[in-house]
């Protein structure tokens, strides 16, 4: 069991996340913390791999259109809907700007508990 420093927060929108090297859609973000994200995808994503990712942001998030970041895929499993897979990523080399954007996403678009 992993003890999280931050509670995972689901957003009202599933944001598109692309592999920055291949420019292919990797999946859609399901939830976020300043330390990691979970993606839902149609295909399984290899684990223990560092990915260069790009997330398309909703209009009005700190004037940014795209958040580029590195993340390591830690686990992948079937979603409740067996047509999809969920993958957990740990964010790497997180800057203060990344944290501010993620916190802004959670505040502006996060589902309330």
pLDDT band at 105 (very low <50, low <70, confident <90, very high): confident
pLDDT recorded at residue 101: 82
Q: Specify the higher pLDDT residue, 4 or 48.
A: 48
pLDDT of residue 10: 52
Is the pTM higher than 0.95? The answer reads: no
Burial of 87 (0-12, 13-18, 19+ CB in 10 A): buried
Q: Could you give all domains of the chain from N- to C-terminal order, each with its CATH number?
A: 9-109 (2.40.10.220)
List, for residues 35-79, the tens digit of each pLDDT value.
889 999 999 999 999 999 998 887 766 677 888 999 999 999 999
Distance CA 18, CA 21 (A): 9
Those residues whose C-beta lies under 8 Å from the C-beta of residue 3, and which sit 6 or more positions away, are none
Task: Pick the closest to residue 61 from 12, 13, 100 (CA basis).
Answer: 100
């Amino acid at each position: 069991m992993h003890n999280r420093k931050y509670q995972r927060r689901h957003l009202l929108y599933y944001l598109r996340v692309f592999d920055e090297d291949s420019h292919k859609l990797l999946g859609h973000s399901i939830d976020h913390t300043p330390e990691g994200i979970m993606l839902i995808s149609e295909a399984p994503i290899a684990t223990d791999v560092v990915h260069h990712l790009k997330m398309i942001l909703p209009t009005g998030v700190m004037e940014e259109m795209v958040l580029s970041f590195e993340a390591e895929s830690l686990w992948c499993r079937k979603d409740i809907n067996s047509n999809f897979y969920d993958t957990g990523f740990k964010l790497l080399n997180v800057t203060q700007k990344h944290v501010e954007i993620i916190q802004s996403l959670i505040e502006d678009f996060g589902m309330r508990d």
